[in-house]
Amino acid sequence: MILLALALALQGQWTGPHTEEYKGPGYFCGGGYAIHLARGDRALILPQSASAGVQGARLVIGGREVNVWSGASHAPGRVVVRYGGTAVTEQANGDEVEYRVSDQTDFGLRLTSDAFRGFKRDGWFFIKANFASSAEDRVHCLAAYSY
């Protein structure tokens, strides 16, 4: 009977996966990397982010949305920036531009945005991003709001 009561109490507390939100100003840290968020910018960690190959985070920086996909495999492309042992490559597919962030592991991140136009024009994002593996160790990371 006690176990049943405990199970019912826990069931009442758990309402399923939640989106976590990080609001600027400050640094959003995502498992090694850090993105500087200005006032009004935010990062959302989406509930389905536990699996590889799915959208893990949505960043809103200066009104522009950047989607971060986890578990991206290596892909050929032009290396546009290096952060120690981490490289960011640019892939262009027609009018769409995406970036892959990878290091010595098998999987990395894929960054997509309708606002990406090529590395020289995407400085609005890359001046705020640090994909070095220890980036989050050098800054004070924001706390999340959960809803």
Predicted confidence (pLDDT) per residue in 121-145, tens digit: 999 999 999 998 888 888 999 987 7
pLDDT: which is higher, 18 or 40: 40
The β-bridge partners of 66 are 59
Predicted confidence (pLDDT) per residue in 80-91, tens digit: 999 888 999 999
Decide: 34 and 130 in contact? Cβ < 8 Å. yes
Residue 2 in any domain: the answer is no
Residue 86 in any domain: the answer is yes
Residue 8 in any domain: the answer is no
pLDDT greater than 50 at residue 110: yes
Residue 133 in any domain: the answer is yes
What is the rounded CA–CA span in Å between residue 133 and residue 34? 9
Residue 12 in any domain: the answer is no
Total tally of structural domains belonging to the chain = 1
Does this model's pTM top 0.85? My answer is: no
Residue 119 in any domain: the answer is yes
Structural domain boundaries, residue 93: 17-146
Residue 52 in any domain: the answer is yes
What is the rounded CA–CA span in Å between residue 133 and residue 103? 9
CA dihedral 72, 74, 79, 82 (to 10 degrees): 70
Residue 65 in any domain: the answer is yes
Tokens, residue 136? 């989050």
What is the rounded CA–CA span in Å between residue 112 and residue 52? 16
Is the torsion defined by CA of 58, 18, 147, 136 positive or negative? negative
What is the rounded CA–CA span in Å between residue 92 and residue 80? 12
The β-bridge partners of 110 are 69, 100
What is the rounded CA–CA span in Å between residue 79 and residue 66? 19
